[in-house]
């Protein structure tokens, strides 16, 4: 049977699935691994957000702090100054929901007030004790991501006994912690954190067995776009990983992902449509 969920977005209950969503990545930073600096200017960022919506994005994710391996934290005031004007403008200009990529409760609260409907927290509520309260009060959706360590050190020497089992157990525990903190289960998505404290083989094993995470009972979001594991497989720089990204996106959809997080929205949206049509559970 095709999998479908109701996702709670700021008081609206939105069907998610069986057709997967494409989330467009909008980095409002000078140092993101893929497109750092291109959209630091608010006008450029808003223009790119509008373009991604036109290309087929179902959701836009705005981030003002790079979480690439080795990155350092950004001061709260600076992160707010980067993302809030962009979110406010996009919430007014585009029809698709806006997400903010942050682990700071104050930034999340400001973004939700400015019109965002989702928070993507790479720390899964571990980074700021006030984050759970913000989401419980505002009712926005929340992505809980797995990360071993922190961005500054996560790729130094990641180790697991059994990576898929450990990632699944972590995400299951984080879902229950969020619910215990007052966040509705319908607000939650889970992300295995490709590239966040994982080796090439860890990433591949997670993607091969992604379907096992469906047992958690929440929609799966995956972000393989332009990641270093593709560079290792193809021996290609960041700017030449489109085909590898599309192959990974298709694999994620075939294994049950309901949201894929990408830079190249138009191409990914087409790949998602084909992969979804080929899924054995009859999506589309």
> Which residues are known catalytic residues?
227, 261
Separation of alpha carbons 135 and 183, rounded Å: 6
**In a 10 Å sphere around its CB, with 0-12 CB exposed, 13-18 middle and 19+ buried, how is residue 206 labelled?**
buried
Long-range pairs, 174-181, Cβ under 8 A, ≥24: 174/124, 174/125, 174/144, 175/144, 175/216, 175/217, 175/218, 177/125, 177/132, 178/125, 178/132, 178/135, 178/142, 178/144, 181/125, 181/132, 181/133, 181/136
Is 91 in contact with 116 (CB distance < 8 Å)? Answer: yes
Strand partners, 99: 61, 118
Separation of alpha carbons 282 and 33, rounded Å: 36
User: Pairing relation of β-strands 21-27 and 259-262?
Assistant: parallel
């Amino acid at each position: 049977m095709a999998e479908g969920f109701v996702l709670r977005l700021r008081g609206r209950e939105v069907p998610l699935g069986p057709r997967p969503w494409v989330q467009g990545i909008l980095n409002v930073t000078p140092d993101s691994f893929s497109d750092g600096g291109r959209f630091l200017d608010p006008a450029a960022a808003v223009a790119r957000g509008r373009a991604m919506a036109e290309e087929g994005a179902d959701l836009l994710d705005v981030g003002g702090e790079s979480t690439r391996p080795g990155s350092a934290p950004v001061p709260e005031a600076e992160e707010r100054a980067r993302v809030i004007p962009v979110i406010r403008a996009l919430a007014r200009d585009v029809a698709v929901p806006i997400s903010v990529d942050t682990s700071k409760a104050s930034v999340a609260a400001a973004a939700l007030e400015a019109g965002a409907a989702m928070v993507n927290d790479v720390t899964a509520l571990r980074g700021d004790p006030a984050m759970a309260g913000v989401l419980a009060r505002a009712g926005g959706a929340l992505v809980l991501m797995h990360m071993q360590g922190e961005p500054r050190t996560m790729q130094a020497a990641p180790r697991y006994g059994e990576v898929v089992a450990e990632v699944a157990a972590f995400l299951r525990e984080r879902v229950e912690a969020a619910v215990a903190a007052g966040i509705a289960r319908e607000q939650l998505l889970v992300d295995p954190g490709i590239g966040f404290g994982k080796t090439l083989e860890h990433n591949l094993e997670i993607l091969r067995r992604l379907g096992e995470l469906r047992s958690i009972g929440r929609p799966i979001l995956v972000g393989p776009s332009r990641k270093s594991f593709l560079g290792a497989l193809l021996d290609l720089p960041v700017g030449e990983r489109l085909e590898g990204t599309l192959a990974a996106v298709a694999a994620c959809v075939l294994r049950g992902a309901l949201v894929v997080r990408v830079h190249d929205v138009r191409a990914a949206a087409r790949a998602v449509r084909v992969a979804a049509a080929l899924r054995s559970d009859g999506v589309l």
